[in-house]
Amino acid sequence: MALLVASQLARAGIVPKIGADAPNFNLPDQNGKIYTLADFYGQWLVLYFYPKDDTPNCTEQACNFRDDLNQLTELGVQVAGVSVDDSKSHADFAKKYALPFPLLADKNAEVTTRYGVLRNLGLFKLARRYTFLIDPQAKISKVYDKVETSHHSKEIIEDLNKLLAAGKA
């Protein structure tokens, strides 16, 4: 059975490398507002992909971003989450946990595919848990492929402070 499931796991697209242009997107958030990459130009962007609204690890990750949002904002960072859930699911999730940042609905998994983080399980698709730190010129500055939800937002704050101190921001 495990081999069957493993053989059905397919990742479409290639994960962008550090220094590459961030793939564009055009997605609605939980309120129906459309966001594109250009909306974040001139600012740092934490674009995090997650599997499913209102599940334990996804909730922990989102709530930590919420709780650390003031620190992130002080560093000039915007946060946006992406999953293949629809805007209604995102709205319920955002309301339940008072999430003050956009949750982008990639229902057709096009953006998830462009970022190389699609997990195709045959009958359903999920985003793999990845985060991209995108610089103000829309270049990939850091890729997080092993995300520990309990301290991920703190890790990003530390990394961005290092980038800023090194004069790379």
Dump pLDDT digits (tens) for 10-39: 345 799 999 999 999 999 999 999 999 999
58 annotated active-site: yes
Tell me the one-letter amino acid at 157: I
Name the nearest CA neighbour of 23 among 120, 104, 121, 125. Answer: 104
Structural tokens at position 123: 């009958």
Catalytic residue among 22, 37, 47, 58: 58
Dump pLDDT digits (tens) for 70-126: 999 999 999 999 999 999 999 999 999 999 999 999 999 999 999 999 998 878 899
Q: Which residues contact 74 (CB under 8 A, 6 or more apart)?
A: none
For each of the domains in the chain, give its residue range(s) and CATH number, in order of start: 8-165 (3.40.30.10)
